Amino acid sequence: MRGLLAVVVTAVVAAGIAWYVGVFDGKDKTTLANVTSGSSQEAVNARVDRMKAMAKALSEVSKAAEAGDISGTGENAQTILKTANDIPSLFPAGTGPGDPGVTKTRAKAEIWSKTDEFNADAKKLGDVATKIVAASGANDTAAMTAALGEVGPACKGCHDTFRGPPPPE
């Protein structure tokens, strides 16, 4: 009975993450594609690429958890942790909306006026990512499922506050 419950919970969590990542996948194609501009825009593009890579890594880890075999998730878990840790440095001053050379970004100006709050949101994701890395290392699917359940809110918490709507096509 508990085994069945674990499977059901894993499936529900994985479906939730798949949905969440899918939402990004749909938007990715229309947001910052084909941008050619100065170095500020390149910094924006670079962080968007890092975010996308993190979303992909997360999706692969959640698929593995859903399949009940997380033995090969070490690298993707590290990608999530490293990206979370790098978030503060991926948003240097001068790469926000309206800054010279920035033609397209969903970053809100509040990132630079409420930087402590932004960095705290990054740390929340880092804390969850640390659990993901630990669960992967211990090959503990139950711990992984629990950690994955905390990821969506950690992404969303920051996006709701600090990410604007996708730009028009």
**Sites of contact with ligand HEC (CB under 6 A):** 24, 27-28, 31, 44, 47-48, 51-52, 54-55, 58, 87, 105-107, 118, 121-122, 125, 151, 154-155, 158-159, 162-163
Work out the burial of residue 23: count CB atoms within 10 Å of its CB; fewer than 13 is exposed, 13-18 middle, 19 or more buried: exposed
- By beta-carbon proximity to ligand HEC, the closer residue of 8 and 75 is 75
| Cβ 35 to ligand HEC shortest distance, Å | 10
- By beta-carbon proximity to ligand HEC, the closer residue of 3 and 100 is 100
| Cβ 68 to ligand HEC shortest distance, Å | 22
Work out the burial of residue 78: count CB atoms within 10 Å of its CB; fewer than 13 is exposed, 13-18 middle, 19 or more buried: middle
- By beta-carbon proximity to ligand HEC, the closer residue of 10 and 32 is 32
Longest CA–CA separation in the chain, Å: 59
H or E segment to which residue 139 belongs:
none
Torsion of CA 80, 84, 89, 95, to 10 degrees: 90
- By beta-carbon proximity to ligand HEC, the closer residue of 47 and 131 is 47
